[in-house]
A = this chain, B = another copy of it.
Amino acid sequence: MTIYDIAKSCAVSIATVSRVLNGSNKVSPKTREKVLAAMNEHNYKPNPFARGLGLNSMKMIGILCTDVSDAFFAKAVSLVEHDLRKRGLDVILGCTGNELSDKKKYLQLFLDKHVDAIILIGSPFREEQDNSHIEKIAKQIPIITINSLLDVPNIYCVLCNEKEGMQKAIELLAKRNCNDILYLYDSLSYSGQQKLAGYKAGIQQYNLNKTSHLIQKIPRTLEAAEAITAKLLDSGIELSAIVASEDLLAVGAQKALSARGIILPVVGFNNSILAECSTPSLTSIDNRLDVLCPAAVTILAQILNGDFAAAPSKTVFPSLLVERESFSHNKPNKKRS
């Protein structure tokens, strides 16, 4: 069933059929109805390849993340897919891993596939040194980043103010008289830097303990978080709270605490399912994927509409501290109150 068949069955030309297909207003209501009816009757769907050839677009958006099996990225992909689909856009997914060469490969691959735009999920796509490979792509098609920042033409960034979120968490701990706050993190991606900066700003602001062993970089595993926390705890170092750049690390820290029967405030980041499942349930900073993702898709839609003026190159939302047991549970200042 092609456009020719429909045209024939309606006794119109293929141009007219094409017009109703593309919603042109240069078709009389009468013929439009006739054509629509025929399409319906024959269950006609235009061939997407032919359409792509003509329009040089298949209304397909490339989504890239380093790893969809990570809960944070998966949630973002889920939200983005949902909103793109609502707008009739298709989603082609790529999981790059962390190798720069692979990220480049995927970017090029998507470009070669003529996707209409690329959405980069998470800050691992911002390299520390050189992002020229991304800039190069952005010259050809628009790029949206979610939770990362790249100040490059034709790249639109939607992110959460993680620095502020982290700083607020420190603030709350400081007000509970926590002076020695351990910070666990695993990477200095853009997001990682922001969080660390927030921690440091908070420490500075409240003049808390700045000792360097209170900042620990570890692998992104439960075991590593548990081990370092155990080590510090057992070494007799003073600790009054633990904050992590990732729920997983916070859960690891909690395990070390539980094993020793110690109760301290613990704060994670991402507000993932892990935070709810942990015992005690984990206070966590939510980076608002639920608002970042729809915002990103809205911007993307504007760009695809050619409405560049309406598309902000940088959109920042506040983060949200979600309090759970790992916070209220503990009263380091109980005795004094």
Q: Which residues of A contact B (CB under 8 A)?
A: 45, 47-50, 52-53, 56, 58, 60, 63, 67-71, 74-75, 77-79, 81-82, 85, 90-95, 112-114, 222, 248, 251, 254-255, 258, 273-274, 276-279
Contact = CB atoms under 8 A, between A and B. Distances in A.
B53 A81 contact: no
Contacts of A79: 69
8 contacts: A49-B56, A53-B53, A77-B93, A85-B94, A92-B92, A92-B93, A274-B274, A277-B277
Contact of A113 (B63, B90, B274): B90
Contacts of A47: 53, 114
A273 B114 CA distance: 36
Given A53-B49, A58-B49, A279-B258, A95 B68 contact: no
A113 B45 CA distance: 9
B71 A71 contact: yes
Contacts of A91: 92-94
A75 B71 CA distance: 10
A60 B82 CA distance: 20
Nearest to A50: B53
Contacts of A258: 279
Those 10 A-B pairs whose CB atoms lie nearest each other, nearest first: A49-B52, A69-B78, A74-B74, A49-B53, A93-B93, A45-B112, A69-B75, A68-B78, A251-B277, A91-B93
Given A49-B50, A91-B94, 7 more contacts: A47-B114, A49-B52, A49-B114, A68-B68, A68-B78, A273-B274, A279-B279
A205 to B, nearest CB: 32
Given A48-B112, A69-B75, A222 B276 contact: yes
B113 A95 contact: no
Contact of A277 (B50, B78, B222): B222
A286 to B, nearest CB: 14
Nearest to A278: B277
Nearest to A114: B48
Nearest to A102: B85
Contacts of A82: 95
Contacts of A49: 49-50, 52-53, 56, 58, 114
B81 A113 contact: no
Contacts of A45: 112
Contacts of A56: 49
